[in-house]
């Protein structure tokens, strides 16, 4: 039947009616899915509204995360962009209106999001060896907010101080920080991250941390799409971008 051209030609010589394209519907669906993801992240951020004060670093990190959401506007159709922009603007005004806790200035943003150990359903284990210390491991996973969660001993050498759980800040958090400010951030994270990420310069540290963040996040299946998004946005400052 496929070889019989007559079966596929109308009496007037025209081709038969083809199935209508679903491209428009597919684009709309993809836009709505992206919009839903953005609104869920904004909802998590607005939970901070009941705080009386907020640390300067944490406030800065939240505003950076809102900037990242703004950069995702191209993934939305024009009809959906005003909704996302309105919610982002409202969340920004809410965060900016929260007074800063002066006592927490200099503390890192590792408690951004839930970050609770019980929120991680599966840990993935990576072993590292710098050559200067004994091999050490870092466990990584994701919480319901699609944040990278790390668990490792507080220190690499004895006494190790037991395991601690932290939300790994996205590389964009370090964007405008000086090297000293970065050191303050890493001081609140397991020592293993400092050994792997800190360099002699701020740019070097951003590149090394981006590479480390990529390595850890790629071990978590649910975060691989996040890594792709960060790559497209140029948020990863390692040599591959």
Per-residue pLDDT of the chain (241 residues; tens, 9 = 90+): 455 555 555 555 555 556 667 788 888 899 999 999 899 888 888 877 777 777 776 777 788 888 888 888 998 999 999 999 999 999 999 988 888 765 444 444 444 433 344 478 789 999 998 888 889 999 999 887 788 999 999 888 888 888 888 888 888 888 888 888 888 888 888 999 999 999 999 999 999 999 999 999 999 998 888 888 888 777 676 644 3
> Are residue 203 and residue 129 in the same domain, yes or no?
yes
Give the domain extent around 74: 26-97
pLDDT of res. 105: 40
- Number of domains, the chain: 2
The reply to whether 112 falls in a domain is no
User: Which residues make Cβ contacts (< 8 Å) with residue 79, sequence separation at least 6?
Assistant: 31
The reply to whether 59 falls in a domain is yes
Are 197 and 209 spatial neighbours (Cβ–Cβ below 8 Å)?
Answer: yes
């Amino acid at each position: 039947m496929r070889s019989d051209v007559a079966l596929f030609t109308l009496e007037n010589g025209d081709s038969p009616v083809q199935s209508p394209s679903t491209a428009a519907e597919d684009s709309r669906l993809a836009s709505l899915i992206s919009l839903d993801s953005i609104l869920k992240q904004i909802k998590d951020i607005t939970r901070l509204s009941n705080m009386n004060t907020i640390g300067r670093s944490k406030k800065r990190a939240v505003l950076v995360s809102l900037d990242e959401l703004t950069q995702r506007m191209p993934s939305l159709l024009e009809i959906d962009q005003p909704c996302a922009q309105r919610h982002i603007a409202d969340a920004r005004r809410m965060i900016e209106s929260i007074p800063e806790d002066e006592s927490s200035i200099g503390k890192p943003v590792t408690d951004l999001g839930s970050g609770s150990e019980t929120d991680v359903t599966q840990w993935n284990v990576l072993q590292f060896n710098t050559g200067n210390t004994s091999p050490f491991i870092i466990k990584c996973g994701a919480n319901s907010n699609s944040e990278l969660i790390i668990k490792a001993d507080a220190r690499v050498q004895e006494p190790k101080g037991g395991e601690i759980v932290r939300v790994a800040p996205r590389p964009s958090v370090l964007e405008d920080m000086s090297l000293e400010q970065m050191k303050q951030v890493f001081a609140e994270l397991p020592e293993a991250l400092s050994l792997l990420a800190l360099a002699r310069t701020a740019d070097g540290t951003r590149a090394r941390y981006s590479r480390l963040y990529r390595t850890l996040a790629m071990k978590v299946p649910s975060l691989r799409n996040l890594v792709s998004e960060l790559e497209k946005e140029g948020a990863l400052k390692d040599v591959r971008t």
